[in-house]
Structure 1
Amino acid sequence: MKLPAGWTRSTLGDLCRTKPNNGIFRKNAEYESNGEGMPVVWVKELFRGNQIDVEGSRRVKATAQEVNKYGLKYGDVLFCRSSLNVDGIAFNNVYLGDDDKALFECHLIRVSPDLARVFPPYLNLLLRSPSLRAIAISNANTATMTTIDQAALCRIEVDLPPLPEQRRIAAILDQADAIRRKRQKAIELTEKFLKSAFLEMFGDPVTNPKGWKTVNLDSIADIQSGVTKGRRFNGKETVHVPYMRVANVQDGRIVLDEVKEIEVLPSDVEKYLLQKGDVLLTEGGDFDKLGRGAVWHAEIANCIHQNHIFRVRPRDGVISPEYASALIGSGYGKRYFLRAAKQTTGIATINKGQLVEFPVLLPPYKKQLEYEELVETYRALVSRSEHTAKVEHNLFNSLVQRAFRGELSPVEVP
């Protein structure tokens, strides 16, 4: 592609004022718990906003030599060096704080651009663009974990307009991205409101201040594990149907971005068919998956569930699906499952026997329905907000592509 007038093309390595390097290694026990020492930027902090914020970062005591080697300078861009998720590899963010007031840890690579040629916020946004993210991911090595090295990063080519234009483009994109962030913040606040409303209506289940009676889950709901994958059918007639996997069942929501199909017997479809109002719960694995669940709203026809997911079907007139899901997903539910689960190193799972004994606090059904109406209102609001967020995301990506091709007019605004 021909560059606009005044633009130049360079490799990322050619733009560095110093050689890229990996960060400092520290054992967990060496991090301070008393707030002393220097903040250390970790991988997770790259994914928060458009610049690195060290407020709340873990801290270590560092020698003068370590500060000299690993101290961040204004404009440094940090990259994720290794990731279990390929989409996380080489993700970047920029440090705009004072020099040598923070360090970065060993799973990150630091690139220090020449400030005479590069406006760091522009470079940060450019490297996050879909086209350059795709190049970075293609340069990664994948085995057990996806990794990228300094040399691969340095080979990435970037297009730079003059510095004043870099500043202008960065300002426009940051303003547009701020609108997207506000939308996501509004969705998050709505979710927090729903949790607050649950506590207001029913009290904290851990202490049960309203004195609701307690019954076992299996006395008010039918519980069913799912179909097992990879079975042999020995020539029997089979069908292919969509099914819910652990990845589809998140905390408080069903995610349908990727729905796979499974080969099963027709009798399996009849046995495992999901109905509107079923509560789907994951059996565990990682601790965050233990008892994680959401209500099924029949978003997909003829859908079943796999054996790592439990289907809880509340009995009509006794317990509301939304109330049941919220109770199980509350801190009260998490505590029960952690106590009851079979645990090994980093893994926790529950079985049907433990699930059926889950102690359900049972308020009047009418009150549960009031909460369900509130949830339905919430779901409609979130659905509209998420649709708008997707539109804004697509518009932002279009703006990004135009910006980095030099197609923004001097009066362009998001």
Structure 2
Amino acid sequence: MSEWRTVRFEEILSSPLRNGVSYPSKMRGQGIPMVNMREIFAYDIIRDQECELVPLKEHELGNSLLAEGDLLFARQSLTYEGAGRCVLVGASERPRTWESHLIRARINRKLADPRFIYYYFRSAKGRRNIETIINQVAAAGIRGSDLKKLQVPIPPLRRQVEISALLGALDDMIAVNERIVITSRELGLALFAQAVAQEAGMEVSVESVSCVLTRGVAPKYSESPDEMMVLNQKCIRGGRVSLTPARRTLRDKVKAPKLLVRNDVLVNSTGVGTLGRVALWTSDEAATVDSHITIVRFDEAQVDPICAGFAMLRAQPEIEAMGEGSTGQTELRRTQLGELEISLPSKERQRELRPKLDSLEARAGQAVHESRALATLRDTLLPQLMSGRLRVKDAEKIVEDAT
């Protein structure tokens, strides 16, 4: 640690902190992608994710475009934990801007490595530093004027690059796995769509081919790791289940029909922005869902549950449009979901398709498992490297042994 020094954050910036652009909803839908709070809380590194489009004017392009290596901070959040969240801007094929609730920081690369600074603010030490400037009135937030004054500990530039390269290699492996997950699902959906298009199959309502169609439980939350995992709406994203936001509920309060079974389909059934998201449950782990999620369990005597699950994934845009209710209270009734018509290939074609879909989902599941292990390793090394307690060479050996 003797080589480390402490600097004010503004001392390592190449330009002043800058808030993003603001456009009314009615003006959005065309132009260039705008990174907003949705991406900030869904991803750690912003690459080529789909973003809302805004008509950024030509004279605004110079000051309002993101560059690889920029940092984005959440200026405001409804939760204390979200305020000041930091993400890294990665490479992208398209120019992008960012919304007004975010602060952009551009690092002077002659003084600091952007990826190192990103990892610092992701560490527990960096988060505690951010928490010293969070203001909480109606919502939690930070000000650029406070952010630029934060004291940031940094080693020599060469050491920064070594640390960020090691941690970045783990993140890059995770990114490769994410691409495998996405590609596997895209290929599966393409195979399913082709099978449906090639022959006259089946048009059935969800309820007519389901043996379970029910909302989840009202959880009795517990902090004990021995209790049952309960999924919530945040767990369903991109057609898959993320266990990171899951909590625990008392096991003896969960009745049999609401215990998840492999190949169940989970549908977010309340809330603006989350209603209608569909995911396949592909685990054998004991788990349930809360009452904001509907469980659809297909009857194997009538349809192949994997094929029916892919039919539900294809129908997600239709399901998202089915909600009804006042703003903020959107609701998808069980009977509505049961009436949904889905298209399936013939039973014979379903049997032929099943092994292919199973293989693709298994490969994606393996990639997800590998990513969790890599993320755990990264998050274990991060505080030790940031504190100087662990040398880069020793950390490299740990990574080599683990991968």
Q: Which has the larger displacement, 375-384 or 54-63?
A: 54-63
Change in CA separation of 1:60 and 1:346 when aligned onto 2, cut-off 3 Å: farther
TM-score normalised by structure 1 residue count = 0.72
Counterpart residue number, 1:314: 298
C-alpha displacement of 1:137: 4.4
Counterpart residue number, 1:117: 111
Whichever residue aligns with residue 308 of structure 1, its letter is H
Matched, 1:283 2:278: no
Counterpart residue number, 1:221: 210
Whichever residue aligns with residue 84 of structure 2, its letter is I
Deviations 1:271-320 (A, max 9, x none): 655555544333242344316242475521xx655443333333332112
Counterpart residue number, 1:237: none
C-alpha displacement of 1:212: 1.7
Match of 1:61 among 57, 61, 76: 57
Report the RMSD for the aligned CA atoms in angstroms.
Answer: 4.3
Cα distance in structure 2, aligned partners of 1:53 and 1:117: 28
C-alpha displacement of 1:81: 1.0
| SS of residue in 2 equivalent to 1:225 | strand
Deviations 1:139-193 (A, max 9, x none): 4244654311224423433222333443444444444432332222222222222
C-alpha displacement of 1:18: 6.0
Q: Which has the larger radius of gyration?
A: 1
Whichever residue aligns with residue 282 of structure 1, its letter is N
| Aligned partners of 1:287 and 1:347 also within 8 Å | no
Counterpart residue number, 1:4: 2
Whichever residue aligns with residue 294 of structure 1, its letter is L
| SS of residue in 2 equivalent to 1:396 | helix
Deviations 1:312-343 (A, max 9, x none): 3333321122122211221xx23543554425
Cα distance in structure 2, aligned partners of 1:230 and 1:77: 37
Match of 2:353 among 371, 379, 382: 371
Matched, 1:182 2:176: yes
Change in CA separation of 1:241 and 1:365 when aligned onto 2, cut-off 3 Å: same
| SS of residue in 2 equivalent to 1:280 | strand
Match of 1:129 among 106, 115, 123: 123
TM-score normalised by structure 2 residue count = 0.74
C-alpha displacement of 1:71: 7.4
Q: How many residues align?
A: 384
Change in CA separation of 1:354 and 1:120 when aligned onto 2, cut-off 3 Å: closer
Change in CA separation of 1:399 and 1:295 when aligned onto 2, cut-off 3 Å: closer
| Aligned partners of 1:4 and 1:405 also within 8 Å | no
Cα distance in structure 1, aligned partners of 2:62 and 2:192: 51
Matched, 1:202 2:196: yes
C-alpha displacement of 1:21: 4.3
Cα distance in structure 2, aligned partners of 1:313 and 1:102: 41
Q: Which has the larger displacement, 254-263 or 376-385?
A: 254-263
Match of 1:261 among 235, 238, 249: 249
| SS of residue in 2 equivalent to 1:349 | coil
Whichever residue aligns with residue 349 of structure 2, its letter is K
For 1:13-412, list aligned pairs within 5 A. 13-16=10-13, 20-28=17-25, 33=30, 42-43=36-37, 58-61=54-57, 77-84=71-78, 86-87=81-82, 89-93=84-88, 104-111=98-105, 113=107, 117-137=111-131, 139-142=133-136, 145-203=139-197, 210-226=199-215, 229=218, 243-250=230-237, 252-257=239-244, 258-261=246-249, 269=255, 272=258, 274-275=260-261, 278-290=264-276, 292-295=278-281, 298-300=284-286, 305-330=289-314, 333-338=315-320, 340-342=322-324, 344-345=326-327, 348-406=330-388, 407-409=391-393
| SS of residue in 1 equivalent to 2:285 | coil
Q: Which has the larger displacement, 151-160 or 404-413?
A: 404-413
Change in CA separation of 1:401 and 1:201 when aligned onto 2, cut-off 3 Å: same
| SS of residue in 2 equivalent to 1:299 | coil
Change in CA separation of 1:170 and 1:262 when aligned onto 2, cut-off 3 Å: closer
Cα distance in structure 1, aligned partners of 2:213 and 2:62: 59
C-alpha displacement of 1:40: 6.2
Change in CA separation of 1:145 and 1:327 when aligned onto 2, cut-off 3 Å: farther
Cα distance in structure 2, aligned partners of 1:82 and 1:62: 28
Counterpart residue number, 1:236: none
Change in CA separation of 1:274 and 1:230 when aligned onto 2, cut-off 3 Å: closer
Cα distance in structure 2, aligned partners of 1:75 and 1:271: 48
Cα distance in structure 2, aligned partners of 1:253 and 1:411: 32
Cα distance in structure 2, aligned partners of 1:219 and 1:356: 8
Cα distance in structure 2, aligned partners of 1:277 and 1:52: 31
Deviations 1:104-140 (A, max 9, x none): 5422224455565334444334333343134324642
| SS of residue in 2 equivalent to 1:109 | strand
Whichever residue aligns with residue 200 of structure 2, its letter is G
C-alpha displacement of 1:76: 5.8
Structure 1 residue runs without a partner (length 5+): 204-208, 232-239
| Aligned partners of 1:54 and 1:102 also within 8 Å | no
